[in-house]
Amino acid sequence: MANRESVAIVSGACGDIGRAIVLELARRGAAVALSDVGSAQEAEGVLREVRALGRVARYDRVDVSDAEAVDRWVDDVRSTTGDVAWAVASAATVTIAGTMQVSSGAWKRELDVNLNGAFYVARAAAGAMLGADRGGRIVFVGSWAAHAPHANLPAYSVSKAGVRMLCRCMALELADRGILVNEIAPGYVDAGLSAEVFRKDPGAREKASARVPLGRMMTAEDVAKQVGYLCFDSSSHTTGSTLLMDGGLSLGTPVRGSEFEP
């Protein structure tokens, strides 16, 4: 294929954070291949925005917990759209329930999507990069919950802790092939999975903000800009790293206001 596009693949692309990441990478010059579990109609809005930027965009319905489906998606992107240069594993789900309340099915599904799905996307992307004999960037959308225990989010916290070690293992394995692998670890984001909590409990947003030493939560666009940083040349010596952006939550500053756990 002459004049092949350099493509960014983004899973979980129809969520607030995934959508912001797609647009950030498109603004930086990437063609984008989106996936999520929703219908094609759900992706039409973000596809229009990408195309308005003059970039190629496509959407495929993919359950990232299905390894074969992920492989087919990435293979088709590579054969019909262009070389995979960037990959962002953003798909995630959350169950708000402690270890004694979470069902076995919910536990399994969360690890299947958040950890296994991230692995399948990153592995397929790395294979495409190696097959094209080019370097690339892989970014996992992790969480500060990977290192901060949350009593009501055990499945989510465990899955994100696994993603963090997966990032480091892949970074070590792929470094000499020019593939950089990193994690972005947000704290409270006023979007995405946290926004679902806020919709059910309007007072939770204020409680969350009160816990953050900076006194405010970040937006999906804030997260996307840092993903963009990890995907482009300004971070050419960064691999196996976690970019923690939690507004100081991990510093252990005493809580200002009511307790909140997303």
Pick the catalytic residue from 120, 156, 188, 229. 156
The Cα 117–Cα 92 span in angstroms is 8
Task: Name, in order, each residue with C-beta under 8 angstroms of 232's C-beta and a sequence gap of 6 or more.
Answer: 28, 137
The single residue listed with the structure tokens 């319905």 is 61
Q: Which secondary-structure segment (H or E) carries 150?
A: none
Q: Which secondary-structure segment (H or E) carries 40?
A: helix 40-52
Task: Name, in order, each residue with C-beta under 8 angstroms of 175's C-beta and a sequence gap of 6 or more.
Answer: 239, 240
156 in active site: yes
Nearest to 62 by CA among 105, 115, 117, 122: 117
Catalytic positions are 156
